[in-house]
Chains A and B, each alone.
Chain A
Amino acid sequence: MTGTGMLASASDETLIRKALRGSERAWLKLVRKYERRLYNYCLRMTSKREDALDLMQEIFLCVYRNLPNYHGDGVFPAWLFRIAGNKVVDFYRKRARDPVNQASEWQDDWQSQHATRSDEQAVGDNRLITRLLECLPPEQRLVVELKFFQQFTFEEIAGQMEISANTAKSRLYAALGKLREHEDLSHAM
């Protein structure tokens, strides 16, 4: 087996250990492994490509800075998304202070960049999902994301958000109720 092959199949733990010893290749491997998942997470959280990219960048920097604190207990995604969640909260806090950024440019932004794509239906779902998620307060939006899109268990979500599993569950139901109301309303209009 070649070195590249070994690194390709290396576990997160191995990559992190190597990155901490100064291996740039291992660190980039880890970034590449998660960037797509994280970027799409950021898209759903921010509704804007530009913001999503900025947010993802911030998350990776934070991950890098905190890497020495990762204890290698085999739950890197959970650890990664805990950091991501904190950065999302920061993001909303910053945006709340900046009224100009609150106006959603989502629909125009989305349409203009995807008008020529053949998979209109899929794009339609991405748009629908993001538009609906926008009606949720950050903490509910995050629970919906972590449950349905990241497929974490309630126990994992609870650990990441530092709440109880019951609170996580009731936040999900509250979010689902709000989403249904919102959808009914937009159908009625």
Chain B
Amino acid sequence: MRCETVRDLLPDYIDQRYADRPGSAEQHAAVSAHLEDCPECTAQFVQLNRWQQLAGNWKDEPVPDWHRPGLQVRQPARTHWLSFASMATAAAALLLVLFQVHFRVDDQGLHVAFGSDQASAQLQRQMDEFQLEQTAYLDARLLDLEQQNRGLLVAFFQSQQQQRQQDMGQLVNYWQSQRIYDQTLDQAKFGLLADKQQQSQRQLRQLLNTRYPETSTEEQL
């Protein structure tokens, strides 16, 4: 057996847990035989053994009193619930926007008016694009909210050395400022969405005009 192979096997050789593995008896004998003739490998073996023993001699020290980071575990569930409420509001508002789009489109009679397959397909594509945009926005919002939850948790943990009362105060403040920020952000985003909707309608109208150039604006609206 080569020294390299023996060095490979030595850590297992000194470990009783490997004694029952199939083929280990033969391996054990081969390593033992090599050790009798090889002082270098024997030195490694002695040192491995010494550390195995030293590790066994370590006397575990008791853990000093410490503030276990457990009391906050319940918090994420609670904040999650609150976040979920605001998320649901955002989602409901979005649905409303989507719904409005459909209504307006229906009012203009576009769905029934478009007999041509080509024009319908084009319209459908534009509608799909619009919907994709909104889905992406919703996904981004969900991610944001998850990040915020994390941020909230980190902020909470970092202040754990202080009194819990103070912690709760900070948590509430953080949450409230986050909510105000959220609402501002939401308003801005909904404004953007409304703009996009206007744009979409303009596109629809243009589409309509190209398909039915003879139709007057009065008839459409």
Query: Which residues of A pack against B, CB within 8 Å?
Result: 19, 21-24, 27-28, 31-32, 35-37, 39-40, 43-44, 49, 53, 56-57, 60-61, 64-65, 119, 122-123, 125-126, 128-129, 144, 147-149, 154, 169, 172-173, 176-177, 179-180
Contacts and interface: CB of A to CB of B under 8 A. Distances in A.
Interface stretch (B23-31, B66-74, B125-133, B199-207): B66-74
Contacts of B60: 36-37, 40
Contact of A57 (B44, B59, B66): B66
Interface stretch (B50-58, B92-100, B107-115, B171-179): B50-58
Nearest to A67: B73
B58 A57 contact: no
Nearest to A23: B73
29 contacts: A21-B77, A22-B73, A22-B74, A22-B76, A23-B73, A24-B71, A24-B74, A31-B69, A31-B70, A36-B62, A37-B60, A39-B63, A60-B69, A64-B69, A64-B73, A65-B154, A123-B59, A125-B54, A125-B57, A126-B58, A144-B51, A148-B51, A148-B52, A148-B55, A149-B58, A169-B7, A169-B11, A172-B11, A177-B47
Nearest to B54: A129
Contact of B68 (A28, A49, A169, A172): A28
A125 B58 contact: yes
Q: Which 5 A-B pairs have the closest CB atoms?
A: A148-B55, A122-B59, A22-B77, A125-B57, A28-B70
Contacts of B142: none
B73 A19 contact: yes
Contacts of A43: 61
Contacts of B44: 173, 176
Question: For chain B, what secondary structure do more than half of its interface residues adopt (helix, strand, loop), or is it mixed?
Answer: helix
A173 B55 contact: no
A31 B68 CA distance: 8
A23 to B, nearest CB: 7
Contact of B70 (A27, A123, A173, A179): A27
Nearest to B46: A180
B48 interface: yes
Interface of B: 7-8, 11, 44, 47-48, 51-52, 54-55, 57-64, 66-71, 73-74, 76-77, 150, 153-154, 157
A125 B59 contact: yes
Given A35-B68, A53-B66, A125-B58, 9 more contacts: A22-B76, A22-B77, A56-B66, A64-B69, A119-B59, A122-B57, A144-B51, A148-B55, A176-B51
A24 B62 CA distance: 23
A169 B8 contact: yes
B108 to A, nearest CB: 47
Contacts of A31: 68-70
A176 to B, nearest CB: 5
A176 B69 contact: no
A149 B73 contact: no
A149 B69 contact: no
**Which one of A24, A148, A154 has the greatest number of beta carbons of chain B within 10 Å?**
A148
Contacts of A179: 47, 51
Contacts of B74: 22, 24
B157 to A, nearest CB: 6
A129 B157 contact: no
A39 B58 CA distance: 13
Contacts of A64: 69, 73
B104 to A, nearest CB: 42
B68 A129 contact: no
Contacts of B7: 169, 173
A39 B59 CA distance: 12
A48 to B, nearest CB: 12
Contacts of B48: 176
